[in-house]
A and B are shown apart, each in its own frame.
Chain A
Amino acid sequence: MFKRVMTEIRNPIHIEFEGQTITVEKGETVAAALMLAGHGKFRESSVTREDRGPFCLMGVCFECLVEIDGTPNRQACMTLAEDGMKIRVQKAAFEETTR
């Protein structure tokens, strides 16, 4: 769906999304990197459990929250990809418990 305007990656770094390694250009955001790799689901809605992904891409809508290196609620669109980052789909807090 998305492709880079640049034809080749000049400064490659590697991030991991749900265990899959993705090669991205240094300076790209996590959101851009994941979308370029074909991913649309970044998180699940806490209440409705619907899939959610980036919407505004400018830090306003908070739809693109992901878990990065164990920290949830990171805005993928406002975070630059860094070599070795481990990124996961964000699940609702308390999801595993029954309250």
Chain B
Amino acid sequence: MKSVDTIVVGGGLVGAAVAYGLVRLGQTVEIIDEGDIAFRASRGNFGLVWFQGKGSDMPEYSRWTRGSTEVWPDLAEDLRAETGVDVNYFKKGGVHLCLSDEALETHSDLIRRMHNIHGPEYGVRILDRKQLDDILPGLGDDVVGGSWSPHDGHASPLYLLRALHSRFQQLGGVYHSGARAEFIERDGNDFVVRTPVSTHRANKVVLAAGLGNRPLGKMVGLNVPVNPLKGQILVTERAAPTATLSIPTTFVRQTAEGSFLLGDSHEDVGFDTSSKSAIMADIADRAICTFPFLKDLRVVRSWAALRVMTPDGCPIYEQSETHPGAFTVNCHSGVTLAGAHAMNLAPMIAAGHLEDYMSVFSAERFNV
């Protein structure tokens, strides 16, 4: 059995981004993937590339996210130029809308704290209703204000996943589908990963299996406390482009194909991916309050998916102390952080150690 440099367990956006970053550096990499029967948060992702309010309680996470938005244009362009797949990335700014004075006040406090982290280059501004009307025509009466960030935008999660896989394989990466990693162990200097249909061997192993990281982590001395947090999304029929195609909001965005995606529900209900009408009604209500013109559109699809949530909502990046060479990557922002994972995290994994400033992302933080 040939040993490669790195096995990435999980072929969703997190695994594919890391794997793409590794093959770009000349590493030999195999992705071991359960396949499309997996929970696959990547397929349910809303598609925001979003920074403005992230990490107010963990400045390193905020900077890490900002760093991802900085490299995202290069990522999108590399994928487009080399694979021909346009991931429909727009970076023309993003708006967080507030539907009450109280929400606006809370949100303004958050933005002030974020200013304190990033200083003048933070670039996010609180907008009153009149300023919002200039960039997002058609807002409903309930919208009182919001914030605008020049760093934010959106992209197609599905095209991103496809493009990352294409580029990964172009650069010599090997993808195994229908291969659910069930057992990982050390064998000499290597790791051996077993699936029901195959056995794989590598010098390093990266756990990027979403909710599957919890059981897999235990096999290599990694505590990975991730839990499912369900989100539901509604999709409307396609419509002519509106301002939200250029400037998405946190719960309404228009895709490049013209569909509106309505979302951002949060339910702690375990491994349940069913669409439920009560939540769907709430999502539709809020979307129509925000943009009343949406009431004329028909909803043509809906889905639910499971976010991969850590106890504090921030990512976990860690190398095992007992099994050096085993890394784990966990987050609920596979699209936003794709840039950071490919361009910034992958080089550290290739070098065999995470930079010192990454220690804050260790799951050790939950053991205090």
Contact = CB atoms under 8 A, between A and B. Distances in A.
Contacts, number: 43
Interface in B248-274: 256-258
Contacts of A73: 237, 298, 300
B243 A92 contact: no
A40 interface: no
B298 A94 contact: no
Contacts of B297: 93
Given A92-B258, A94-B293, A72 B298 contact: yes
A interface, over-half SS: loop
A73 B237 CA distance: 7
B313 interface: no
Interface residues of A, number: 11
B73 interface: no
B178 interface: no
Interface in A28-84: 45-47, 72-73
A94 B237 contact: no
A93 B238 contact: yes
A93 B258 CA distance: 9
Contacts of A99: 137-138, 240, 242-243, 293
Given A73-B298, A73-B300, A94-B293, A47 B137 contact: no
A93 B239 CA distance: 4
Interface string B292-328: 0100111010000000000000000000000000000
B237 A93 contact: yes
Given A46-B257, A46-B258, A99-B138, A93 B296 contact: yes
Nearest to A71: B298
B249 to A, nearest CB: 14
Interface string B217-249: 000000000000000000001111111000000
A47 B241 contact: yes
A46 B298 contact: no
A92 B238 contact: yes
Contacts of B300: 73
A99 B256 CA distance: 15
Given A99-B137, A99-B138, A92 B298 contact: no
Contacts of B240: 46-47, 92-95, 97, 99
A47 B293 contact: no
A47 B242 CA distance: 10
A47 B296 contact: no
Nearest to A96: B240
B263 to A, nearest CB: 19
A45 B237 CA distance: 12
Interface string B189-226: 00000000000000000000000000000000000000
Contacts of B243: 99
A59 B166 CA distance: 27
A97 B258 CA distance: 15
21 contacts: A46-B241, A46-B257, A47-B240, A47-B241, A47-B256, A72-B237, A72-B298, A73-B298, A73-B300, A92-B240, A93-B238, A93-B239, A93-B296, A94-B239, A94-B240, A94-B293, A99-B137, A99-B138, A99-B242, A99-B243, A99-B293
Interface of A: 45-47, 72-73, 92-95, 97, 99
Query: Which 7 residue pairs of A and B lie closest in terms of their CB atoms, listed nearest first?
Result: A46-B258, A46-B238, A93-B239, A94-B240, A92-B240, A99-B242, A94-B239
Given A94-B293, A99-B240, A99-B242, 11 more contacts: A46-B238, A47-B240, A47-B258, A72-B298, A92-B238, A92-B239, A93-B237, A93-B296, A94-B242, A94-B296, A97-B293
